[in-house]
Chain A
Amino acid sequence: MTDWSTPRTAPYSVQRRHESLRERALDRESPLRRLDWVLLFAVAALCTFGALLVWGATKPQNLAAGIDPNAYLKKDLLNVAIGLILGSIAALVDYRTIRAYTPVVYLASLAGLVLVLVHGVTVNGSHSWINVGGGFEVQPSEFAKIALIVGAAMLLGEKRDGAEAPDQRDIWLTFAAASVPILLILKQPDVGTVMVIGFVIFGVIAISGVSSKWILGMIGVALAGAVVIMHLHLLKQYQIDRFTSFTNPHADVQGSGYNTNQARIAIGSGGWLGKGLFHGAQTNGQFVPEQETDFVFTVAGEEFGLVGSGLLVLLVGVVLWRGLSIAARAEDAYGTLLAVGVVCWFGFQAFENIGMTVGIMPVTGLPLPFVSYGGSSMFASMIAVGLLQNVYMRSRT
């Protein structure tokens, strides 16, 4: 017997309720269908490349030291896997929901930064890591970057009364919100991360539509600040030396210029095609310090040559390009600023990182996103990419 009174759609909706996870994933309306695949592939390629480079930087040394030659590779792949999960979560939860929790995220990051000052581990003179047991260390400043991007986007993205740009109060509030973590990170001290945050805040404010006066003002304050820092000797001499050594790399090749000099030798000796994975003599001889982390790009330069390292730069470029596209087509100002914050972060950090290895930027301890070995950086970067996907999936087509 047929019950015609039953709406036609009823069986369909019943069916829909019982839809399998697989079918839901393939559904036309599914967020997965609306993923930015180019971005995803670029990031995946960067992670793969990074894993190879970390492997190349560590395998020969570990072999010589009698440790598991693949130890770093395994941990790096594990970091990627964990990062993917974190990134997926960041992508799937609607970013507008995240916005609601912004104060929580912000306060949590502040808590982390305070905790690191109390219980932190000192590595290379910086008090930036918290030992969480099991051989894992967390670097709260990496996550603070996300919190600040989310926070700044929220403060500047909610315009009152249909205004074109955030008003003065929002901007001052943003500065205030940023200054607390900046001061905490300066205390570590981690000048590199502070510079990243500064650039991110600058970028987000600039894109939010404020008048040009604000932009010029910020640039002026930054320059004045730099002058004051130099003249009041707020930095230690070694920090200044290292920072300025790139301007004259031959000045002290055994001291402050050593890293950059060796890095450039590694990259330059790679030539067109490089020496091949595990065959870089500079790398194998550990001439370049911090090679699986901050100077990981030198492995690409030496072992994969101009072709490999150029590809790496282009992949970073693709990620940034896609990030800006996502910002441009975001549903709302909040999404746009979120994406811009992430692009500024990646862009500044990647340029600074690669720039210091090729000798056109001063040396600071910043990792290359997705490539450098290190859990916190990988997780934070993955979450950031997740946020980009999040904005993309929920934007107008």
Chain B
Amino acid sequence: MSDRTRLRLVVLRVLIVSLVLTLLGRLWYLQVLAAPQYERAAADNQVRDIIATAPRGEILDDRGLAFARNRTALVVSVDRVALLRQHDGGVAVLQRLAQVLHVPYSDLHDRITLCGAGGLPEGCWNGSPYEPIPVTQLKNDLNSTRLALQILERKEDFPGVTAALAAVRSYVKPDGAFATHLLGNLAPITADELKRLPQSEQDARRRDLVGRQGLEQEYDQWLRGSAGITQVAVDHLGAVTGTLKETPPQPGDNLVTSLDARVQASLEHALVGAVQHARQLGVQAYGGPADFAAGVVLNAQTGHVVAMASYPTYDPSLWDGGRIDVKAYDRLRREPGAPLVDKAFSSAYSPGSSFKPISTSGLLRDGTASLSGAYPCGSSYSVGGRSFRNFEGEAAGTIDLHRTLVISCDTVYYYLAYRDWLRDEGLVARHKKPVEGVQHMARAYGIGMPPGIDLPNATTGHIADRRNTLLQWKQTHRNYCIGAKRRKPGDILKAYDQEYCTDGWRFNAGLQLIEDIGQGSVLVSPLQLAVAYAAVANGGTVFEPRVGQAIVDPSGHVVKQLPAPVRGHLPLAKEQLDYIRNALYDVTTQGTGATAFAGWPQDKFRVGGKTGTAEIGLNRSYTSPWFASFAGKTGQKPQFVCVITVDKGGVGGVVAAPAVRQVWDTVFGVDGQKAAFPTGHPPRSLPRLPTSPLVSHSSAVSGGGAGNSALPDLAWPPAVAVRSGGRPTLAGDT
């Protein structure tokens, strides 16, 4: 053997040793240094979380009738991963599916498009790209069952498409009551909301429907329940090889409300009736165009809402399944009267004379007026060269406060308000704090304050005083001053702008005068007025109203009672409040509400109230009627309060009071109506609830791989794999 060969054999030996060492070093790195990282990667590879959404709690009325419940429906889901694996990216499958489901292809396509940053199709998918996306809900009838079977049987035509039973939200309109704005709706969780959740919860909640607006939003955390998570081991195709851990879904708690479906339905009908009535009458006959209407029925003794509605409204079942049809939504958005927007608790209007019990309270409290006093009710009242007319220009001589409330004399309030204002101006001139008795009293009644109700977006309303008038002027006068300069001469707004620009900061006498009769810068929501009247009715307790009565878990145990918190007590003597209440009782017998309540059995159910006719618009061309009323069994404390207003609907006694009477008819069973509360009281105990039928469940697994998961049985809920990524097609090896 040559030396060269010998030497080269040694070189080869060294080479081999170094290669062996290289491999050992690499193994050391992979299996010791980087092992934790690969352990994690392996776990992500092999473990999938299957999320079973929990059945959402029901929303029930005071007798246990469901407003919102869960319907079992067939849901067709599309697995994007499986679709994209098709050679045409799943176009053909989607087209076939669109045909079977009778929906446009573009709809399906939009549904499975992932939501990204901005500019995306309506109804895009917000969840994980690896889970089946529900594209439609079938009604659980014979026809749709056939559709589902068609999809399941022709699996080869529909790779990645599954149909399974699922619980979908369903708004069932008990006794025909919509309660649309109260209930709110569900919508898929947004990417932002997800991001704000703790990391550990994000996966499980990715496909959540979240309460939007109304009770669904307010009580979302109770109603939601918690999703079940099943951890399964999967192989490279996503087929399940075993179960590692199983947490069953916890159904959401039920919300028992104080709403009564019959009263709610009656209120909704009354609003429709009032609007129609106002339109029939027209402006000349004390009616009007009646753009919208709103009403509230409150339990005066507990502060619970018995009914609350606005008109126009829309069928809450449009939101069934947590998804509204895009076209239907667009139509609603454009409809006159804005049916999508609540009018009963989230917007405020001038209450007109129905505010007078509150201003009366304020005048009594600060001593401007007294129960024994008598005041001039002329046809008009002049302040600083400006004449303030009594409504309809009537005069009634010198009268006491009782009579003033009964006939709703404005000029008495002008007289009192002006004295009030003069005194306060005097105090201001001496650098002392003005009393502003009416404003303080209004706040004590909850006006200009957040109502504290268990509904989102409730308005605070407004009551003007010296301070907030100045503040408002500081913020807004600039635009008025520009308007005053730029508007053409002759434009009536020019003068108005000019006035506000220079004097808008001043809380002048006129403001105080019209404020005391509930005009101008007093704004209340029907709910706030109802809370105020409840205080009058119950002896001075001001509640933060509640729609919810109790949270009840699926097995029927009360988790939480929801009493209406007491905001405070009116700073009025008992005799003062009794005086006002008594005056209001006479309104329905001798005063502005007498016509509407003619023939009402006051001996059985005593009704009190106050009409209001708020003038709207610069030229006061329209008026909005109000009627705020309380009623109960004669001889007992008034149990309920009802407030109804119709925007631009005419005169309170003509349009609003009859509508309120309609509601009382249903509540007490008068005028041939069946009584919702024959005893005159709402149910004293919570309804007994049937155990939720959806507590038991089975879950199905749907892996990412096409056709490897057993889903032909209609299992509930549609289960979903979340955590890890998609599986690849295997690269061939040569």
A residues neighboring B (CB under 8 Å): 64, 124-126, 164-165, 189-192, 203, 206-209, 238-239, 242, 253-256, 258-259, 262, 264-272, 281-282, 284-287, 289-290, 294, 301, 305-306, 309-310, 313-314, 316-317, 320-321, 324, 327-328, 333, 336, 340, 343-344, 347, 351, 354-355, 358-360, 363-365
**In the bound complex, do residue A289 and residue B16 qualify as a contact, i.e. CB atoms below 8 Å apart?**
no
A-B pairs with beta carbons under 8 Å apart, 19 shown: A164-B2, A165-B4, A242-B731, A253-B728, A258-B730, A268-B35, A268-B37, A271-B39, A285-B235, A287-B45, A310-B27, A313-B23, A317-B17, A321-B13, A324-B12, A336-B1, A344-B12, A358-B26, A360-B22
Interface residue? B6 (CB, 8 A): yes
B725: nearest chain-A partner, CB-CB? A254
A-B complex: 4 closest residue pairs judged by Cβ atoms: A268-B38, A269-B42, A285-B235, A254-B728
Is B621 on the interface with A (CB-CB < 8 A)?
no
B734-A239 in contact (CB<8A): yes
Which residues of B (1-27) have their CB < 8 Å from a CB of A?
Answer: 1-2, 4-6, 8-9, 12-13, 15-17, 19-20, 22-24, 26-27
Kindly provide the distance from the CB of A260 to the nearest chain B CB, expressed in whole angstroms: 10
B31 in contact with A267 (CB, 8 Å): yes
Contacts of B235 in A (CB 8 A): 284-287
* Residues A258 and B731 in contact, CB atoms below 8 Å apart: yes
Cβ of B46 within 8 Å of any chain A Cβ, yes or no, is yes
Q: Is the contact region of chain B dominated by helix, strand, or loop, or is it mixed?
A: helix
Tell me whether B9 and A340 are in contact (CB under 8 A): yes
Structural contact, A309 and B27, CB atoms closer than 8 A:
yes
Choose one: A321, A359, A365; the contact of B734 (CB below 8 Å).
A365
B726 to chain A, nearest CB (A): 7
| Chain A residue nearest in CB terms to B234 | A285
Q: Is there an interface contact between A125 and B42, defined as CB atoms closer than 8 Å? A: no
Nearest B residue to A159, CB-CB: B2
Are B731 and A313 within 8 A (Cβ)?
Answer: no
Please tell me if the beta carbons of B30 and A268 are within 8 angstroms of each other in the complex.
Answer: yes
Do B8 and A206 have beta carbons less than 8 Å apart? yes
Determine the chain B residues whose CB is within 8 A of the CB of A324 once the complex forms. Answer: 9, 12-13, 16
**Min C-beta distance of A195 to chain B, whole Å:** 13
**Is A305 within 8 A of B31, CB to CB?**
yes
Q: How distant is the Cα of A227 from the Cα of B235 in the complex, in angstroms?
A: 40
Min C-beta distance of A217 to chain B, whole Å: 16
Instruction: Assess the A265–B5 pair: CB atoms within 8 A.
Output: no
Chain B neighbourhood of A209, CB < 8 A: 2, 4-5, 8
B241 and A284 within 8 A (CB):
yes
Report whether B734 and A125 are in contact in the complex, using a CB–CB cutoff of 8 Å: yes
List the A side residues contacting B16 at CB < 8 Å.
317, 320-321, 324, 343, 347
Contact in complex: B5, A336 (CB < 8 Å): yes
A-B contact count (CB 8 A): 172
Count of residues in B whose CB is under 8 Å from the partner chain: 46
B26-50: CB near A (< 8 Å → 1, else 0) gives 1110111011011101100110000
Contact B728 A207, beta carbon cutoff 8 Å: no
Contact A313 B27 (CB under 8 A): yes
- The interface residues of chain A lying within 8 Å CB-to-CB of B45 are 262, 265, 281-282, 285, 287
Q: A126-B734, A285-B241, A313-B23 are in contact. List 20 more A-B contacts (CB 8 A).
A: A164-B2, A191-B734, A206-B8, A209-B4, A209-B5, A258-B728, A259-B733, A264-B38, A268-B31, A269-B38, A272-B31, A282-B45, A309-B31, A317-B17, A327-B9, A344-B12, A347-B15, A351-B19, A351-B23, A355-B23
Return chain B residues, CB-CB under 8 Å to A206.
Answer: 8
The answer to whether B31 and A347 touch across the interface, beta carbons within 8 angstroms, is no
A residues within 8 A CB of B444?
none
With the chains together, A365 CA to B17 CA distance in Å?
24
* Cα A272 to Cα B30 with chains together (Å): 10
Question: Which of A269, A305, A313, A327 has the most chain B CB within a 10 Å cutoff?
Answer: A269
Q: Are the C-beta atoms of B5 and A64 separated by less than 8 Å?
A: no
The answer to whether B732 has its CB under 8 Å from any CB of chain A is: yes
Which residues from chain B contact A239 at a C-beta distance below 8 Å?
Answer: 734
Query: Roughly how many angstroms separate A347 CA and B1 CA in the complex, as a whole number?
Result: 23
1/0 contact string of B694-734 vs chain A (CB within 8 Å)? 00000000000000000000000000000001101011111
How far apart sit A327 and B28, CA to CA, in the bound complex (Å)?
Answer: 31
Greatest chain B CB density within 10 A among A125, A207, A328 is at A207
Contact present for A190 and B734 (CB under 8 Å): yes
Report yes or no: A281 in contact with B9, Cβ–Cβ below 8 A.
no
Nearest Cβ in chain A — how far from B371, in angstroms?
85
